[in-house]
């Protein structure tokens, strides 16, 4: 019945969210779609400069047609160096493009010979018949009625680029080689061994040089060369940028100048100077064929040569190796792609014309969604064509209709891409004939090895594969009518009749052959020669499917409001889908940087053990692609389920927020252009300082990424599985499976994979990861408890790289570490082998927290057990502690009990701990006591008066102390662990137990109940109730929320501690509560949208800084709901109350409005419990600015490569000298009051050092300092030392902290005070802006006032005397500081006779500057 009542509201809510998303998408589309088409006049609201585009392209066609015929060769792509010191021979070995073919290699080798020994037969010359034989035609989005074209804002800040195909003529079958009227360029066996690619690239460079000539510049503009085409590094393309000059016009007739030229003409010139579009020249081939002829699909290439199981790139013929050349499906696919530019455009145009507006809008939304995630225009990503084709497939296969709107089509595409079994990963055991079933080798839950050989053969046969249907046809009919498919079937019949192999091993259909020949997903064109998804890796598809599923959850998040898997609510669905940047550097938990020069180059030597699992596809993909795919494949094999995803950095992952580099007003014709796609556009007109060095003969094709600044760097991103990353054992296959065992040993190496006996009696090979590292270098250390946050993953990657990829002479292994991994050193110790218990406790923060938690459990048990009432006499009962009531609960409140204390206490020998080996001990504990609260059972014995209630609680505390002493005197069990002095105050008791200092308070629910029942409570009673509720109820609930998060997410506790170190390092201690910091971290880990939950310390810390810097604290509350306790209605209430509290101008209420489930008050209002008063607005502003700068600096360190594993990041934890100058006064603290100087905000050594064979991190050094306490209170440890000594042990002794608290209490209305709680060597002060405003005189508020003796105004006769305030502050700090300096002198100056103020001058503060009051 209740569910039925909720259905109408759910339906209404769903309708609201859907309509809201539609409205937001409509607004986005109105600003994103670029109405521009090659068919002028067909689009509504076409851009005004559409005619200019058409005229520019027409001019390009005209110029290209004027090209004269010539003979081209590799000599035409020689790059002339600007370095005059290089010899001509060295210059001839650098080229604009990489030459791949066997003929080019022979040509270059021949050119190095003497003139007498050169062989003309080894020259690679070919005829270019002239530009009139080229076919130049628009393709892609521009030719498809503008579908998919977007403005630069929606295009990741990249100028819209229009594709123009330059199609080369094909040699006729009847064309003779020695004929004078030859018009063909491509033909014969140019499809073999990269010959076609060399021809197209040489022609591209030749055309680029022609277009960049001075006589063409006024029309063509600048010409740039791009060393890739849609992620294919075999192909180059040209980028043409129209001229920027304002006086250049494509119209032949001059325009009349309008009136008022000075004002309006300048604006028009600015608009004309803006680059509105670019043109990309892509090169392909043209051919004619009959409708039903195979040549219509394959051109000059024999049809069978484009089957995916055929080899067209025989590396043995190029490099002279004796190797068996396998299939080259990627190479074949690249060949086929250049022959179908026109047919692909026809498909896009037909669908766009039929679906009209919906197709264009949905393609635009998909494009924005992909660009925000780095899934478009890069290596191993979608291309513009493949993305549009995937959408066109939905229309042609009737999955969507033209009546559906863009959001509906967008949703269907997400579901389609997410549900398709592209890789065969879904359970195939029910499919007949599949060998991958429940008995497939996966030998234990500890196994990290998978038998990928099964997946790479028969398992892939049953994965999904689709074919683009012909127009007015179904997919099945298209496959049956495909000529290429029929040819393949007949070829299979011939093979079956001639071969002795099992016929079942031969693919029966062409579609099945594509599935078995490649690891990429299969999506074929109607001719079944092109695989649109052929450049995508399995890792990309898995990540795409995960993002697609998240997008679906995001669209329908309101349905799963309380589910743990639902999308987070901090970011609304529209923003999460289309506005948030989730590219490479924001996506992953950990990053690795490799130098490509350290990686072995694959030469297809199958006998080489180092390349048993990779390198065999180098002839198909190229060396760089083979390395990249091999890295991902082998690392995935080794890591197993320890990671969720693993990807290499690709282009298309730059910063979309930065301005476009094309806005530079200089000559871009000689400047390398690099936009957010991070695909460099190399100028053909090179200047002397040009960065392009070209390619050498033996160089491999590789991408250039702005992030690294070099071409030699490889970046790997990993998303770690926190539930499996800590596994210590990888168990191998059964011993009788020799093939799988051989692979297992080959993967891990014979030294690592050793025979071991398991509890089930099996003796198999296994790999164990809790053994010490063989490499003892100081840079190769591990952290305590690091296995929970990715240390084992890091070790596995090092091992695999060293065993399979690194050259034998390389020293890569010690240096390959997770970027920014050493951030952990501030909150955790290094793992030192054979360390004693004391050292281990100092090194391990988690171990210290666990020890405290264990002591707490024992203490809670002691209190509850010994407070049980036992009958004494007839009507009386009393406990062993002498308490009249039983203790019901002992609740934790301390950060040390939820794993978030920066420096947890260490066991102290004077507090009942058995600690040996310490020569010196602390006489004053500098850590805060561990806070707990005691709750008694419900009883009517509590008094009914508020004052009496306080006295009763104090009496209970005194009785607890007396009861413990009495039990110790009687030597009761459990009491011997209590040691040290017991200090009782009216509100708490401090005592020592189990080696730790504790502070216990009493929670009396009867007291709060009594205050709530008051009819007209006084302000004091209201304040008391709020304080009791916050200190006893809300802090207790907050503890359990945070403890649950730190238990579930191991990195969360480290991030809280690291964020506290960062806040303290910037002298903001006490300006934001510890609970607020914990809530920020809880938000990042439980509400991570639009990202995934961070699983490493560095990623969690970066996300926290990003949250602080980017969240709109002024206009949005931060709602934290880890367990889904805040429902939709509650969220609406919170938002309305927040807006009401902020006011119209957003000037009121808490500056940081953080709401958690504990913040619902008895009056129904939601108010922040821990950010009600702090931080103040000025502090929040400084916090946001610091967070933004720190985040940017860390991101730069992350992208910088190997240097990020140094300690350059440590500067974000320090205050710069300039920042100290921004304060008004500085007070230097006496060093005798400083315990730990290593945490100083001004200068600290945050490196890791080896001392006497022990690695000491900053955390370890701080713990050593804290264990000894202040120098003045240090004691010598004796063997029989006891606490009966007259020297009392001080608990929580923090003189500087107490002094700052006094300053904030007494002088907080005049100034803000800043200090570093971990090293308070400096106290900074900043005057409040209103402190020195003129005030009316009042005897009640005359403190620190002084009369003004000039410019008197009504009701403004006095002002505050800064010297008096500073003098009072110095009085408070007289036992703490040794020196001070005033940087902003606000004292009253002498006036001149004219009544005007004297010039401002700085002078030393002295007693004469103040009033008559003295110290």
Q: What is the DSSP string of 77-144?
A: GBPPPS-TTS-HHHHTTEESS---SHHHHHHHHHHTS-GGG--GGG---EEE--GGG-EEEEEHHHHT
Contacts of 902 (CB under 8 A, 6+ apart): 827, 1057, 1060, 1061, 1064, 1318
Other beta carbons within 10 Å of 1047? 12
Residue that wins the pLDDT comparison between 1103 and 739 = 1103
**What span, in angstroms and rounded, lies between the C-alpha atoms of 142 and 133?**
23
Of all residues in the chain, the percent with pLDDT exceeding 70 is: 81
SS (HEC) of 854-912: HHHHHHHHHHHHHCCCEEECCCEEECCCCCCCCEEEEEECCHHHCCCCCCCCCCCHHHC
Q: Is pLDDT at 645 greater than 60 in this prediction? A: yes
Residue that wins the pLDDT comparison between 2 and 1339 = 1339
Q: Is pLDDT at 19 greater than 90 in this prediction? A: no
Residue 1354 has what pLDDT? 66
SS (HEC) of 65-94: HCCCCEEECHHHHECCCCCCCCCHHHHCCE
* Residue 277 tokens, joined: 């579009």
Can you tell me the mean pLDDT for 699-718? 68
- DSSP code of residue 264: I
Q: Is pLDDT at 856 greater than 50 in this prediction? A: yes
Q: Is pLDDT at 195 greater than 90 in this prediction? A: yes
Other beta carbons within 10 Å of 332? 28
- 1378 sits in the region (left: phi over 0; alpha: psi -120 to 50; else beta) called alpha
User: Beta 1358-1360 vs 1377-1382: how paired, if at all?
Assistant: unpaired
Q: Is pLDDT at 33 greater than 90 in this prediction? A: yes
What b/e string do you get for 1315-1334 counting C-beta neighbours within 10 Å, with b at 16 or more?
A: bbbbbbbbbbbbbeeebbee
Cis peptide, bond prior to residue 972, ω within 30 of zero: no
**What span, in angstroms and rounded, lies between the C-alpha atoms of 427 and 773?**
38
CA 251 to chain centre: 48
pLDDT in tens, 530-556: 999 999 999 999 999 999 999 998 888
Q: Is pLDDT at 1280 greater than 60 in this prediction? A: no
Segment among 471-485, 487-501, 774-788, 1372-1386 with least mean pLDDT: 774-788
Shortest CA distance to 590 belongs to which of 646, 551, 651, 534?
Answer: 646
Shortest CA distance to 152 belongs to which of 678, 575, 662, 704?
Answer: 662
* Residue 1318 tokens, joined: 């971990």
Can you tell me the mean pLDDT for 325-336? 90
- DSSP code of residue 1137: H
Shortest CA distance to 356 belongs to which of 37, 18, 28, 23?
Answer: 37
Residue 268 has what pLDDT? 45
pLDDT in tens, 452-461: 443 444 467 8
**What span, in angstroms and rounded, lies between the C-alpha atoms of 1349 and 1291?**
51
**What span, in angstroms and rounded, lies between the C-alpha atoms of 1129 and 1014?**
30
Provide the pLDDT confidence category of residue 1251 given band limits of 50, 70 and 90.
confident
Q: Are 1304 and 1070 in contact (CB under 8 A)?
A: yes
Residue 1394 has what pLDDT? 40
pLDDT in tens, 883-898: 989 999 999 999 999 9
Contacts of 853 (CB under 8 A, 6+ apart): 897
CA 1111 to chain centre: 17
Q: How far is CA 246 from CA 250, 264, 274, 661, 665, in A?
A: 11, 14, 10, 19, 12
Three-state DSSP at 525 gives coil
pLDDT in tens, 1068-1098: 999 999 999 999 999 999 999 889 999 999 9
Q: How far is CA 1051 from CA 473, 601, 677, 1058, in A?
A: 55, 37, 32, 10
* Helices and strands (H and E) in the chain: how many: 41, 37
Other beta carbons within 10 Å of 1109? 17
Residues composing the chain: 1415
Shortest CA distance to 909 belongs to which of 1192, 1277, 424, 482?
Answer: 1277
**What span, in angstroms and rounded, lies between the C-alpha atoms of 331 and 604?**
16
Contacts of 1304 (CB under 8 A, 6+ apart): 1070, 1313
SS (HEC) of 513-540: HHHHHCCCCEEECCCCCCECCCCCCHHH
Mean pLDDT in the chain? 83
Q: Is pLDDT at 313 greater than 50 in this prediction? A: yes
Can you tell me the mean pLDDT for 391-403? 94
Q: Is pLDDT at 1205 greater than 70 in this prediction? A: no
Q: What angle do CA 848, 854, 858 make, to 5 degrees?
A: 145
Provide the pLDDT confidence category of residue 1203 given band limits of 50, 70 and 90.
low
* Residue 1371 tokens, joined: 């009085």
Can you tell me the mean pLDDT for 841-849? 88
CA 729 to chain centre: 29
Other beta carbons within 10 Å of 824? 28
Match 């509105």 to its residue by tokens: 276
Three-state DSSP at 842 gives helix
Residue 436 has what pLDDT? 36
Residue 1404 has what pLDDT? 38
Q: What angle do CA 1309, 1312, 1317 make, to 5 degrees?
A: 130
Provide the pLDDT confidence category of residue 711 given band limits of 50, 70 and 90.
low
Q: What angle do CA 562, 565, 570 make, to 5 degrees?
A: 70
Exposure of 41 by Cβ count < 10 A (0-12 exposed, 13-18 middle, 19+ buried)?
Answer: exposed
Three-state DSSP at 31 gives helix
Segment among 380-384, 674-678, 1255-1259 with least mean pLDDT: 674-678
H-helix or E-strand spanning residue 545 = helix 538-555
* Residue 956 tokens, joined: 């209970």
pLDDT in tens, 756-781: 988 888 889 999 998 766 554 555 67
Q: How far is CA 642 from CA 427, 718, 728, 745, 1209, in A?
A: 20, 10, 11, 19, 28
Exposure of 135 by Cβ count < 10 A (0-12 exposed, 13-18 middle, 19+ buried)?
Answer: middle
Three-state DSSP at 1314 gives strand
User: Beta 590-595 vs 278-285: how paired, if at all?
Assistant: unpaired
Q: Are 1078 and 1159 in contact (CB under 8 A)?
A: no
CA 527 to chain centre: 41
**What span, in angstroms and rounded, lies between the C-alpha atoms of 209 and 215?**
12
Three-state DSSP at 1072 gives strand
pLDDT in tens, 920-978: 888 899 999 999 999 998 888 888 888 899 999 999 999 999 999 999 999 898 888 99
Residue 182 has what pLDDT? 66
Match 């500067």 to its residue by tokens: 1211
H-helix or E-strand spanning residue 1295 = helix 1295-1307
Q: Is pLDDT at 1389 greater than 50 in this prediction? A: yes
Q: Are 992 and 909 in contact (CB under 8 A)?
A: no
Backbone angles phi, psi at 98, to 5 degrees: -80, 125
Q: Which residues pair with 128 in a beta bridge?
A: 70
Q: Are 37 and 45 in contact (CB under 8 A)?
A: no
**What span, in angstroms and rounded, lies between the C-alpha atoms of 525 and 344?**
8
Please list the alpha-helical segments (H only) found in 994-1122: 1005-1012, 1019-1028, 1035-1048, 1050-1065, 1074-1086, 1097-1110
């Amino acid at each position: 019945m209740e569910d039925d009542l909720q259905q109408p509201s759910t339906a209404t809510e769903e309708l609201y969210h859907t309509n809201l998303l539609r409205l937001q998408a409509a607004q986005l589309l109105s600003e994103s779609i670029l109405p521009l088409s090659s068919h002028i006049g067909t689009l509504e609201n076409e851009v005004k400069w559409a005619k200019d585009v058409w005229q520019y392209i027409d001019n390009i066609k005209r110029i290209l047609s004027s090209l004269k015929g010539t003979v081209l060769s590799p000599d035409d792509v020689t790059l002339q160096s600007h370095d005059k010191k290089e010899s001509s021979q060295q210059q001839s070995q650098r080229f604009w493009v990489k030459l791949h073919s066997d003929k080019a290699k022979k040509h270059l080798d021949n050119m190095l010979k003497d003139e007498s020994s050169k062989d003309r037969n080894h020259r690679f010359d070919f005829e270019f018949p002239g530009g009139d034989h080229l076919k130049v035609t628009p393709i892609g989005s521009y030719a498809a009625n503008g579908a998919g074209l977007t403005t630069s804002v929606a295009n990741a800040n990249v100028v819209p680029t229009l594709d123009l195909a330059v199609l080369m003529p094909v040699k006729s079958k009847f064309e003779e080689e020695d004929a004078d009227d030859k018009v063909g360029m491509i033909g014969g066996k140019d499809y073999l061994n990269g010959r076609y690619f060399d021809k197209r690239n040489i022609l591209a460079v030749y055309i680029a040089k022609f277009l960049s000539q001075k006589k063409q510049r006024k029309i063509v503009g600048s010409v740039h060369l791009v060393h890739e085409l849609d992620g294919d590094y075999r192909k180059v393309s040209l980028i043409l940028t129209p001229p920027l000059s304002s006086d250049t016009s494509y119209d032949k007739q001059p325009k009349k100048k309008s009136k008022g030229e000075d004002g309006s003409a300048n604006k028009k010139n600015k608009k004309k100077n803006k680059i509105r579009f670019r043109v990309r020249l892509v090169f392909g081939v043209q051919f004619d064929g009959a409708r039903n002829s195979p040549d219509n699909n394959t051109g000059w290439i024999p049809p069978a040569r484009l089957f995916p199981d055929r080899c067209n790139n025989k590396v043995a013929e190029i490099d002279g190796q004796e190797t068996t050349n396998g299939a080259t499906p990627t190479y074949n696919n690249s060949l086929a792609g250049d022959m179908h530019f026109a047919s692909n455009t026809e498909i896009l145009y037909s669908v766009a014309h039929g679906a009209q507006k919906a197709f264009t809008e949905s393609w635009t939304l998909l494009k924005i969604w992909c660009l925000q995630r780095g899934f478009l225009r890069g290596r191993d990503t979608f291309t513009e064509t493949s993305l549009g084709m995937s959408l066109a497939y939905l229309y042609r296969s009737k999955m969507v209709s033209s009546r559906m709107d863009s959001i509906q089509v967008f949703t269907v595409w997400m579901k389609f891409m997410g549900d398709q079994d592209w890789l065969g990963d879904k359970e195939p055991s029910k499919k007949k004939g599949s060998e991958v079933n429940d008995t497939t080798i996966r030998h234990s839950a500890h196994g990290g090895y998978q038998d990928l050989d099964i997946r790479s053969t028969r398992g892939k046969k049953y994965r999904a594969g689709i074919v683009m249907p012909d127009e007015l046809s179904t997919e099945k009919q298209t496959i049956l009518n495909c000529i290429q498919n029929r040819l393949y079937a007949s070829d299979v019949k011939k093979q079956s009749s001639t071969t002795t192999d099992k016929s079942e091993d031969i693919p029966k259909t062409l579609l099945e052959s594509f599935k078995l020949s490649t690891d990429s997903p299969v999506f074929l064109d109607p001719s079944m020669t092109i695989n649109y998804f052929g450049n995508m890796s399995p890792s990309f598809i898995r990540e795409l499917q995960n993002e697609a599923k998240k997008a679906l959850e995001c669209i329908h998040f309101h349905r799963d409001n309380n589910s743990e898997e639902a999308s987070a609510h901090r970011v609304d669905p529209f923003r999460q889908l289309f506005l948030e940047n989730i590219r490479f550097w924001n996506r992953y938990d950990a990053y690795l940087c490799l130098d490509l020069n350290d990686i072995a180059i694959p030469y297809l030597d199958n006998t080489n053990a180092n390349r048993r699992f990779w390198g065999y596809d180098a002839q198909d993909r190229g060396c760089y692609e083979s390395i990249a795919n091999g890295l991902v494949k082998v690392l995935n094999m080794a890591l197993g389920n320890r990671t969720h995803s693993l990807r290499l950095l690709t282009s298309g992952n730059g910063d979309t927020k930065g301005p476009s580099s094309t806005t530079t007003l200089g000559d871009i014709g000689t400047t390398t252009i690099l936009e957010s796609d991070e695909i460099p556009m190399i100028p053909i007109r090179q200047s002397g300082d040009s960065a392009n060095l070209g390619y050498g003969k033996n160089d491999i094709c590789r991408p250039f990424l702005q992030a690294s600044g070099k071409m030699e760097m490889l970046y790997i991103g990993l998303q770690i599985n926190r539930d499996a990353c800590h596994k210590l054992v990888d168990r191998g296959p059964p011993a009788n499976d020799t093939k799988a065992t051989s692979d297992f040993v080959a993967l891990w190496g014979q030294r690592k994979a050793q025979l071991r006996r398991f509890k089930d009696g099996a003796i198999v090979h296994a790999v164990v990861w809790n053994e010490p590292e063989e490499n003892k270098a100081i840079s190769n250390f591990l952290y305590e408890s690091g296995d929970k946050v990715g240390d084992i993953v890091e070790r596995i990657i090092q091992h695999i790289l060293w065993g399979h990829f690194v050259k034998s002479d390389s020293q890569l292994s010690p240096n390959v570490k997770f970027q920014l991994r050493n951030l952990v050193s501030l909150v955790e110790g290094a793992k030192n082998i054979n360390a004693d218990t004391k050292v281990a406790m100092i090194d391990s923060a988690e171990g210290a927290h666990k020890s405290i938690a264990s002591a707490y459990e024992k203490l809670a048990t002691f209190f509850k057990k010994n407070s049980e009432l036992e009958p004494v006499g007839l009507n009386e009962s009393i406990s062993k502690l002498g308490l009249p009531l039983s203790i019901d609960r002992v609740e934790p409140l301390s950060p040390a009990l939820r794993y978030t204390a920066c420096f947890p206490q260490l066991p102290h020998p004077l507090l009942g701990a058995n600690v040996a080996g310490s020569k010196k001990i602390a006489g004053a504990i500098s850590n805060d006591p561990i806070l707990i609260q005691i709750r008694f059972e419900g009883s009517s014995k509590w008094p009914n008066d508020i004052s009496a209630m306080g006295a009763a609680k104090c009496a209970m505390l005194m009785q607890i102390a007396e009861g413990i002493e009495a039990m110790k005197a009687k030597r009761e069990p459990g009491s011997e662990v209590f040691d040290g002095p017991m200090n009782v105050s009216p509100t708490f008791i401090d005592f020592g137990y189990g080696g730790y200092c504790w502070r216990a308070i009493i929670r009396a629910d009867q007291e709060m109940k009594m205050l709530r029942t008051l009819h007209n409570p006084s302000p004091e009673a209201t304040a008391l109730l709020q304080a009791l509720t916050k200190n006893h109820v809300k802090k207790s609930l907050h503890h359990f929320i945070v403890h649950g998060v730190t238990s579930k997410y191991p990195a969360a506790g480290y991030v809280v501690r690291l964020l506290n170190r960062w806040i303290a390092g910037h002298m903001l201690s006490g300006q934001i509560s510890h609970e607020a910091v914990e809530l920020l971290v809880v938000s990042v880990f439980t509400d991570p949208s639009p990202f995934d939950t961070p699983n490493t310390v560095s990623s969690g810390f970066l996300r926290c800084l990003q949250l602080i810097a980017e969240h709109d604290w002024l206009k949005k509350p931060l709602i934290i709901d880890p367990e889904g306790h805040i429902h939709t209605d509650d969220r609406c209430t919170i938002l309305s109350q927040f807006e009401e509290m902020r006011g119209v101008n957003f000037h009121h209420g808490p500056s940081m409005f953080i709401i958690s489930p504990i913040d619902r008050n008895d009056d129904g209002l939601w108010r922040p419990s821990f950010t009600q008063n702090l931080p103040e607005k000025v502090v929040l502003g400084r916090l946001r600015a610091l967070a933004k700068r720190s985040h940017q600096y860390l991101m730069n360190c992350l992208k910088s490569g190997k240097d990020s594993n140094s300690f350059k990041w440590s500067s974000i934890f320090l205050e710069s000298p300039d920042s100290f100058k921004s304060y008004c006064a500085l007070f230097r603290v006496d060093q005798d009051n400083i315990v730990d100087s290593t945490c100083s905000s001004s200068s600290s050594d945050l490196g890791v050092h080896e001392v006497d064979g022990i690695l000491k991190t900053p955390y370890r050094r701080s713990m050593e300092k804290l264990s000894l306490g202040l120098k003045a209170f240090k004691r010598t440890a004796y063997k029989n030392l006891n606490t009966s000594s007259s020297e009392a042990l001080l608990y929580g002794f923090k003189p500087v902290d107490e002094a700052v608290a006094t300053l904030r209490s007494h002088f907080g209305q005049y100034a803000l005070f800043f200090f570093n709680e971990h090293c308070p060597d400096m106290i900074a002060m900043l005057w409040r802006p209103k402190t020195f405003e003129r005030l009316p005189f009042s005897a009640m508020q005359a403190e620190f006032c002084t009369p003004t003796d000039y410019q008197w105004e009504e009701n403004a006769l006095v002002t505050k005397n800064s010297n008096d305030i500073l003098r009072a502050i110095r009085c408070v700090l007289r036992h703490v500081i040794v020196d001070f300096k005033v940087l902003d002198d606000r004292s009253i100056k002498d006036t001149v006779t004219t009544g005007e103020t004297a010039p401002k001058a700085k002078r030393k503060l002295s007693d004469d500057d103040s009033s008559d009051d003295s110290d």
